[in-house]
């Protein structure tokens, strides 16, 4: 009896200390550098979630290896809901197609589809190119001379660039960076002549004349860039691909924690402040569905896998 009372004396204080989730700050891992599309969308979401969950949601940038380092951090984190991933098409759909060691991605738990946005292909004004045809002609004149910048080996940006080169019969030198911000800046400096990224991190530089838009990967033209053709209009239908972003949790995260996070995300995505911020950055607001996030990931893997196989695309 005395031993039982002693055990209860130890357990009861711990039970009393454990409050409802969350009762401490939450870390939201962004597997790319600050300033890119994954980062800026994550910060808007983190601010909204902090207010709803009544705990700080702290964005942690962990770039490298096309997003795979930060993603692996979350995949191996404790399943308590305090370390989460703001995932993207790069980390969730492309990496498992290009890298056989990414099987751990299948164990991550989808929480909520957060945002959608098409990609833009841009070039440096120094190239003199104003259309896809202009740049293709230049690249064919200078094979393996012009550079293509990406957010890292195995990122969506990288794969879309490989598809572009395969579809146009061009050969650019791939130069991977730690994120899309560094890749964008390389094109602005003229160190690279081509890159692709979702709209948000590129719009200001396009308006300033630092980047020249060549095509957008949406099904229809973007009103703010009405003179920029779609991928289909440019004769590159394989590039009709939409980028996506969503909240993921570590494997075996308890269902009640996932439900709490999903409810918070739905509320965040409905908030006027978040919607205004996303609209300003040209993001489409996701519907907050965990099921739709799982579906878009599966569809992305199937589509990227088919394109990679059909075009025999390989990464070094």
Q: What value, to the nearest 5°, has the Cα angle with vertex 314 and ends 182 and 146? A: 45
143-201 per-position pLDDT tens digit: 999 999 998 887 888 889 989 998 999 999 999 988 888 999 999 999 999 999 988 88
219-272 per-position pLDDT tens digit: 899 888 999 999 999 999 989 988 999 999 999 999 999 999 999 999 999 999
CA–CA separation, 185 and 39 (whole Å): 16
CA–CA separation, 186 and 188 (whole Å): 5
Question: What's the CA dihedral at 33, 35, 37, 41 to 10 degrees?
Answer: 100
Ramachandran angles phi, psi of 119, nearest 5°: -95, 155
CA–CA separation, 136 and 148 (whole Å): 12
Q: CB neighbours of 240 closer than 8 A, spacing ≥ 6?
A: 217, 218, 219, 230, 231, 232
CA–CA separation, 61 and 38 (whole Å): 10
């Amino acid at each position: 009896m005395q031993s039982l009372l002693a055990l209860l004396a130890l357990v009861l204080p711990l039970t009393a200390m454990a409050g409802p989730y969350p009762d401490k700050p939450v870390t939201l891992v962004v597997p790319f550098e600050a300033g890119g599309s994954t980062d800026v969308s994550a910060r808007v979401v983190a601010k909204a979630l902090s207010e709803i969950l009544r705990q700080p949601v702290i964005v942690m940038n962990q770039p490298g290896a096309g997003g795979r380092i930060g993603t692996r951090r979350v995949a191996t984190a404790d399943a308590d809901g305090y370390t989460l991933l703001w995932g993207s098409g790069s980390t969730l759909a492309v990496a498992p197609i290009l890298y056989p060691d990414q099987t751990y991605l299948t164990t991550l738990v989808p929480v909520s589809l957060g945002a959608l946005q098409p990609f833009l292909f841009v070039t440096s004004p120094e190239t003199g190119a104003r259309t896809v045809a202009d740049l293709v002609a230049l690249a064919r004149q200078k094979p393996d001379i012009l550079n293509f910048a990406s957010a890292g080996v195995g990122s969506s940006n990288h794969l879309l660039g490989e598809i572009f080169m395969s579809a146009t019969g061009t050969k650019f030198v791939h130069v991977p960076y730690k994120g899309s911000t560094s890749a964008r800046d390389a094109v602005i400096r003229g160190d690279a002549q081509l890159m692709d990224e979702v709209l948000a991190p590129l719009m200001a530089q396009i308006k300033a004349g630092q980047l020249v838009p060549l095509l957008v990967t949406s099904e229809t033209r973007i009103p703010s860039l009405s003179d920029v053709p779609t991928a289909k209009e440019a004769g590159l239908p394989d590039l009709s691909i939409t980028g996506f972003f969503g909240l993921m949790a570590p494997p075996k995260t308890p269902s009640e924690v996932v439900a709490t996070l999903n409810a918070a995300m739905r509320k965040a995505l409905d908030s006027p402040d978040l919607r205004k911020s996303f609209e300003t950055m040209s993001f489409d607001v996701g519907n907050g569905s965990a099921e739709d996030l799982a579906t878009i990931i599966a569809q992305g893997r199937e589509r990227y896998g088919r394109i990679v196989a059909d075009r025999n695309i390989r990464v070094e």
